[in-house]
């Protein structure tokens, strides 16, 4: 596992790019910039000799004395991407251009409807000629190269794929959209019946690109993988990886072996929107603003380290800090602890590292035990202001310390605990009541918000706002099947009536907001409250409920792992049982029993024949626990607390196994409503 982690981390995936940037001005799109941000950042480009780093945008260009350009993009060389390249080159004076795309040549052929295997890279070669045309001289130099720089090594245990951050398993409304375009006899009965070719071309290209990036990673580490899948989207991705043209040769000769289990996020939405995680990083990601252009990292206010006064403009005066501290070993180890430990352990480690850094620099630190407070952390951090050298040596740990202090002291943090308390209450109620009876608990929360004074200020810091109410709705609907059964017709009528009330109440709550949160802006398509009409809010909330209704059916096709809930037995309270824990317990069961829900996907025809013969002879099918290295790929995102859960569960059931988690993004609870209600899952933006 070490070699896979090291390969993708630091700069090896970027080596191809770094070898070309000497004396060049580098233009890079947001997704590739985010991947680089966690792999050494812009510093690695400058150290490799780059003159400047700019955003990949039509508003940028090179100056007269910059003859060489390197472009790094995460998209196909088609459509918008081509327009931007042409704009930049036409405004500049380049004589040498190198374009790196994370999308393989085979996928460029597929996107151009070429199905035959072709010698060389004709699409890239034609594009090189175009680049020379735009530079204005066919004798100038142009290169187009594939570089799979899609992985962001966020920690030793976690690799994210920023270009696929909006890839999310399909839901029941998506199935209706697919079926609407098909003749009556060919309609699909459920999501599990969808095949690759029934998806939109954009989604096909995105899935092929992801399979190709995974293949490149396995190729670079000489690994033969056995793929398993849980969930409809995971099956399609694993199938594409299995059928990847280069993968077949690699699997014949690769000396290293690994298992990879793909799991759809929709198998467990309860865990993704819940507040039971007890993790410091989950809270930091929730309360601090995102770093512009980034999906994972956040802005850390650095004002404490200066003598500037806090004014309305001070935010724009000072560049923010961030969580990606890839250069300093102490900061890296602190980040690992914050990411994969309990909240309290994370906070104590922040204090310990700050004290250690201050002592090393002989700063006059006053030790204090007991609870860690934001004021105490800030007082330690301010000591570093007196010494520029100390500030420079420890700036990684200081930024993580500031992020922690700003989160602990954030006015919206008390809402986290309110949500947690309410979720616990709802969990208990599910075991005793019908679903409408439990759902009714949310009405008073909404009506309490409506009854506020006209100034619109929240009465209490810990009161649930519209974002939290939406999270609670997802939490409950994802568990709807766990409620006590009632008479079906009566329940259906009661539910419809209650939903109308909830839609009305939530619409009113949203239209009364004095400021729209980023989530509400995405859901309603409005930036400011004055643009938001009641009709617009009402229709957004109605659409939301159409999606909510299908959430309790995402596990319907599973034979064994169909619940994430354990009811109270009179002694113990009802609890949420994370789906990932169940998957790992099945995968590493000492009896090596087969779980029908963890489907083996790497088998070709020979495996089918073997399975046919198994009536007459004993055939051992591959099992996830056969290999000492396990990749878990969570399609649709993973939460920080799930990283701890994975680490602990594997250590309990099969110590010695190395687990590397791959995912499309690191989740904060409010990401889920955006992915459910405000994302074009069937037609992703692939830059064309």
In terms of domains, do 299 and 385 share one?
Answer: yes
Q: Are residues 35 and 129 located together in one domain of the fold?
A: yes
Residue with tokens 């354990």: 566
Evaluate whether residue 573 is within a structural domain: no
CB 504 within 8 A of CB 537: no
- In the predicted model, residues of the chain with pLDDT beneath 70 are 1-11, 449-462, 604-619
User: How many Cα atoms sit within 13 Å of 329 on the Cβ side?
Assistant: 0
C-alpha count within 13 angstroms, C-beta hemisphere, residue 315 = 5
Does residue 281 belong to any structural domain of this protein?
A: no
Is 432 in the same domain as 542? yes
**Strand order from edge to edge, sheet including 223-230:** 152-153, 158-160, 658-663, 629-635, 256-264, 223-230, 599-600
DSSP state of 441: T
Same domain membership, residue 304 and residue 433: no
Q: Which residues constitute the domain of residue 542?
A: 413-449+460-553
Spatial neighbors of 668 by CB under 8 A, at least 6 apart, are 282, 285, 286
**pTM of the model as a whole:** 0.93
Give a yes or no: residue 135 inside a domain. yes
- Percent of the chain past pLDDT 70, that is, above it, reads 94
Q: What are phi and psi of 43, to 5 degrees?
A: -55, -40
CA–CA distance, 625 with 592 (Å, rounded to integer): 8
Whether 673 and 590 share a structural domain: yes
Q: Does residue 103 sit in helix, strand or coil?
A: coil
Helices and strands (H, E) in the chain, number of each type: 30, 14
- Residue 310 CA, distance from chain mean position: 33
* 441's tokens: 């608990």
Rg (CA), the chain: 26
Question: What is 12-25 written as a DSSP string?
Answer: TTTHHHHTT-TT-E
* Cα-based angle 164, 646, 648 (whole degrees, multiple of 5): 155
366 and 234, same structural domain? no
Q: Which two tokens stand for residue 334?
A: 């602190």
Closest CA to 35 of 157, 211, 164: 164
Cβ contacts of 510 within 8 Å, gap of 6 or more: 466, 520, 524, 532, 537, 540, 541
Distance (Å, whole) CA 472 – CA 462: 15
- The rounded distance, in Å, linking the Cα atoms of 39 and 147 is 15
CATH number for position 231: 3.40.50.1910
> Are 516 and 583 within one domain?
no
Residue 453 has a pLDDT of 46
Asked if residues 446 and 492 have their Cβ atoms less than 8 Å apart, the reply is: no
Q: Which helix (H) or strand (E) holds 476?
A: helix 466-478
Rounded alpha-carbon distances, angstroms, from residue 482 to 23, 428, 430, 432: 62, 11, 6, 10
3-state secondary structure of 554: coil
Instruction: Answer yes or no: do 175 and 261 share one domain.
Output: yes
Contact 497, 448 (CB under 8 A): no
Same domain, residue pair 164 and 144: no
* Shared-domain flag, residues 440 and 316: no
Q: How much is the pLDDT for 10?
A: 47
Please indicate, yes or no, whether residues 381 and 322 belong to a single structural domain of this protein: yes
Question: What is the rounded distance in angstroms from the CA atom of residue 266 to the CA atom of residue 552?
Answer: 10
Nearest to 281 by CA among 641, 659, 665, 684: 641
Within a domain: residue 570?
no
pLDDT score of 502: 94
What is the DSSP secondary-structure string of 104-148?
Answer: -HHHHHHHTT--S--SS-HHHHHHHHHHHHHHT-TTSEEEEEE--
Q: How far apart are CA 451 and CA 121, in angstroms?
A: 65
Question: Which pLDDT does position 573 carry in this prediction?
Answer: 86
138 and 159 belong to one structural domain: no
403 occurs within a structural domain = yes
Task: Specify if 426 maps to a domain.
Answer: yes
CA 409 → CA 281, 289, 369, distances in Å? 14, 14, 19
Count of domains observed in the chain: 4
Tell me the CB-side half-sphere exposure of residue 617, using CA atoms within 13 A: 5
- Cα gap 489→25, rounded to integer Å: 67
CB of 162 within 8 A of CB of 296? yes
Q: Is residue 432 part of a domain?
A: yes
Local structure of 151: helix, strand or coil? coil
What is the rounded CA–CA span in Å between residue 28 and residue 74?
Answer: 9
Distance of alpha carbon 211 from alpha carbon 233, whole angstroms:
12
Measured between alpha carbons, how far is 547 from 477 in angstroms, rounded to an integer?
Answer: 10
Asked if residue 603 is part of any domain, the answer here is yes
Angle at Cα 12 formed by Cα 36 and Cα 20, nearest 5°? 75
CATH, residue 56: 3.40.50.2060
């Amino acid at each position: 596992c070490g070699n896979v982690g090291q390969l993708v981390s630091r700069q090896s995936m970027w080596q191809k790019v770094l070898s070309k940037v000497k004396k060049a001005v580098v233009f890079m799109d947001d997704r590739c910039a985010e991947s680089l941000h966690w792999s050494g950042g812009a510093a690695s480009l400058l150290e490799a000799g780059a003159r400047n780093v700019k955003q990949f945008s039509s508003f940028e260009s090179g100056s007269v004395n910059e003859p060489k350009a390197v472009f790094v993009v995460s998209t196909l060389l088609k459509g918008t991407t081509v327009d931007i390249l042409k704009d930049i080159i036409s405004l500049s004076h380049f004589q040498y251009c190198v374009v790196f795309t994370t999308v393989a040549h085979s996928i460029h052929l597929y996107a151009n409807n070429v199905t035959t295997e072709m010698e060389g890279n004709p699409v890239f070669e034609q594009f090189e000629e175009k680049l020379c045309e735009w530079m204005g001289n066919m004798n100038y130099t142009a290169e187009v190269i594939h570089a799979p720089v899609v992985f962001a090594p966020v920690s030793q245990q976690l690799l994210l794929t920023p270009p696929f951050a909006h890839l999310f398993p399909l839901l029941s409304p998506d199935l209706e959209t697919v079926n609407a375009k098909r003749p009556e006899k060919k309609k699909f009965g459920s999501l599990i019946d969808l095949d690759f070719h029934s998806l939109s071309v954009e989604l096909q290209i995105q899935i092929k690109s992801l399979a190709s990036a995974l293949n490149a990673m396995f190729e670079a580490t000489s690994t033969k993988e056995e793929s398993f899948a849980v969930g409809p989207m995971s099956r399609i991705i694993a199938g594409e990886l299995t059928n990847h043209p280069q993968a077949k040769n690699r699997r014949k000769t690769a000396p290293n072996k690994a298992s990879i289990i793909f799991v759809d996020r929709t198998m467990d939405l309860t865990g993704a929107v819940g507040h039971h995680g007890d993790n410091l990083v989950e809270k930091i990601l929730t309360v601090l603003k995102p770093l512009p252009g980034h999906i994972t990292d956040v802005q850390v206010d650095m004002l404490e380290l200066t003598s500037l006064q806090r004014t309305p403009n001070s935010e724009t005066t000072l560049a923010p800090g961030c969580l990606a501290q890839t250069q300093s070993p102490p900061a890296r180890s602190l980040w690992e602890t914050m990411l994969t430990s309990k909240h309290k352990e994370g906070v104590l480690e922040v204090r310990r590292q700050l004290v250690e850094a201050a002592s090393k620099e002989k700063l006059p630190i006053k030790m204090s035990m007991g609870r860690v407070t934001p004021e105490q952390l800030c007082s330690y951090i301010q000591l570093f202001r007196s010494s520029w050298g100390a500030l420079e040596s420890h700036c990684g740990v200081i930024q993580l310390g500031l992020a922690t202090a700003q989160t602990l002291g954030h006015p919206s943090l008390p809402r986290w605990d309110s949500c947690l308390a309410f979720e616990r209450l709802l969990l208990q109620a599910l075991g005793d009541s019908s679903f409408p009876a439990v759902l009714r608990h949310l009405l008073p929360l909404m009506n309490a918000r409506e009854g506020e004074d006209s100034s619109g200020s929240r009465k209490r810091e810990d009161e649930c706002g519209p974002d939290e109410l939406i999270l609670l709705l997802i939490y409950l609907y994802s568990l709807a099947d766990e409620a006590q059964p009632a008479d079906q017709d009566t329940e259906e009528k009661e539910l419809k009536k209650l939903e109308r009330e909830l839609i009305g109440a939530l619409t009113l709550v949203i239209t009364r907001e004095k400021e729209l949160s980023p989530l509400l802006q995405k859901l309603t398509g409005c930036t400011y409250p004055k643009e938001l009409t009641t009709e617009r809010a009402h229709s957004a909330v109605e659409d939301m409920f159409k999606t909510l209704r299908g959430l309790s059916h995402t596990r319907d096709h599973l034979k064994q792992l169909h619940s994430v809930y354990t009811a109270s037995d009179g002694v113990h309270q009802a609890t949420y049982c994370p789906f990932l824990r169940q998957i790992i317990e099945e995968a590493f069961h000492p009896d090596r029993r087969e779980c029908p829900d963890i489907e083996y996907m790497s088998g070709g025809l020979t495996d089918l024949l073997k399975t046919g013969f198994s009536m007459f002879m004993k055939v051992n099918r591959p099992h996830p626990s056969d290999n000492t290295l396990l990749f878990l790929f969570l399609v649709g995102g993973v939460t920080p607390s799930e990283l701890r859960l994975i680490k602990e569960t594997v250590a309990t059931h099969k110590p010695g196994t190395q687990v590397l988690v791959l995912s499309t993004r690191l989740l904060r609870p409010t990401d889920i409503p955006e992915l459910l209600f405000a994302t074009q899952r069937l037609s992703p933006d692939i830059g064309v």
